[in-house]
Amino acid sequence: MGKKKPLSRKTQFFLLALVPACFTVLGVFLQPLHTLEEGIPAILKEPDFLITDYFAVGGPGATLLNAGAVTLICIYLVYRLGMEIDGHTITSVCLMFGFSLFGKNVMNIWSILLGVWIYARYHRTSLSRYIYIGFYGTSLSPIITQLMQLGHLPVAGRLLLAIAVGIVIGFVLPPLCTHAHFAHRGFSLYNVGFAGGIIAIAVVSLFKSFGLKIETRLIWSSEYTGEFAVILATVLAAFITAGLLPSPRTTFRGYLRILKAAGTGGSDYVKEVGIRPVLLNMGINGYFAVGFVLLTGGDLNGPTIGSVFTILGFSATGKHLRNIAPVMAGVWIASLTKSWDISDPSAVLALLLSTTLAPIAGQFGMLWGIAAGFLHSSVALNVGIVYSGMNLYNNGFAGGIVAMFLVPLIQSFVNRKARASGEISL
């Protein structure tokens, strides 16, 4: 028998769209129709800075409809731009789905994407060069929703202001992301979260200087853990099965190559080993993450499932069991010594999203990974106050700070001959 022909580009995108499409269909069955009709507008209108669980705002069915719609639109945009599927496609799709469970929606992402498109046009290049930055940059979409809540302005004025601010955010994202990467050198995977935190600090500072007050919030559901444990287990089993077929031995060889990688920013496991080992990696990482949450008494809801999908997405571009387990263990150890419990809402998100620092464990070993997770837990639980939760990738900002602080110290210990290079700046 001859070799099978590779799947066509259209078929690849169809298969990629199956996951959000299935969740969209599932959403229709999770809620009565009349509550769906009420839940979707509630999601679109509700201020959605951290932590706002869409499961509690509009119900799990409406939340999955929102997440499915956002993700399918993003997949269609990538397809229309003529791009091929790679690891970064999978990462961005998983992030758009995951964070559409607790912050992004079909209304608040567009002005930021428009700003990125204008940036590409200004520099006379294709949007395909920056589209993933645009998707990640919608981590700042709560700013857009917040501007629409300014009751002292007419609706038209609020809309124009929200669009203008979103365009500015989208326009400054690409250059900031490039320079942010130099700061942590790829040892924090959520690079746009780090850049987004810088933008959020500037924007929220402007808000406060004009007298706009942003109250802290915690909207968190805990009644859906059982049913979503079953749903996630089924989805992850499908990933593993698809990855192992038709040749488990070949898949395992590719997976072992993934486990040997450091996982620093810019990795693309799809290009390096193919899609099937990546699917296996996603399934294994997903089971580990969900199991960790359940064993520590955490809830499965919009924010935690979104965080699990973040781990799944970056399983194509940097994360694997060898480099995420030490970092998560560091957060868990921190919970035994600090004043918070690992099952607290902010703590369980830090547990899952601390894996932005997986490259530290991958490059320098388990003990440094544990140290990174231990430090990250403190930074992540406190740094969000500077931008009032307006950056959904809070752990990305925290992870960038930890990497900037920790990596030079690690290198000075690892290499006793290491010294600061260049002129000393006073």
Q: Which residues pair with 52 in a beta bridge?
A: 219
CB 351 within 8 A of CB 370: no
| For the chain, percent of residues with pLDDT exceeding 70 | 96
Q: Is the pLDDT of residue 202 over 60?
A: yes
Contacts of 419 (CB under 8 A, 6+ apart): none
Type of residue at 341: D
Token digits for 201? 């600090």
Token digits for 222? 């805990």
**What pLDDT does residue 378 have?**
95
| 3 state DSSP class of 393 | coil
Tracing tokens 């830090």 back to the chain, one arrives at: 350
Contacts of 3 (CB under 8 A, 6+ apart): none
Backbone angles phi, psi at 352, to 5 degrees: -75, -45
Residue 307 CA, chain-centre distance (Å), reads: 7
Token digits for 19? 């996951």
**What pLDDT does residue 418 have?**
53
pLDDT tens for each residue of 255-305: 999 999 999 988 999 999 999 999 999 999 999 999 999 999 999 999 999
Residue 294 burial (C-beta neighbours within 10 Å; 0-12, 13-18, 19+): middle
Lowest mean pLDDT among 20-29, 79-88, 209-218: 209-218
pLDDT tens for each residue of 153-169: 899 999 999 999 999 99
* Spatial separation of the C-alpha atoms in residues 156 and 45, rounded to whole Å: 16
Contacts of 176 (CB under 8 A, 6+ apart): 195, 198, 199
Compute CA distances 223 → 55, 229, 298, whole Å.
10, 12, 11
Q: Is the pLDDT of residue 132 over 90?
A: yes
Q: Would you say the C-alpha torsion 52, 292, 274, 360 has a positive or negative sign?
A: positive
Type of residue at 300: L
CB 121 within 8 A of CB 173: no
Q: Would you say the C-alpha torsion 248, 250, 256, 261 has a positive or negative sign?
A: negative
**What pLDDT does residue 1 have?**
37
Kindly list the domain boundaries of the chain, sorted by start residue: 7-208, 222-415
CB 316 within 8 A of CB 87: yes
Mean of the per-residue pLDDT values of the chain? 93
Specify the DSSP class assigned to residue 85. P
* Spatial separation of the C-alpha atoms in residues 112 and 349, rounded to whole Å: 25
* Spatial separation of the C-alpha atoms in residues 95 and 41, rounded to whole Å: 22
CB 383 within 8 A of CB 397: yes
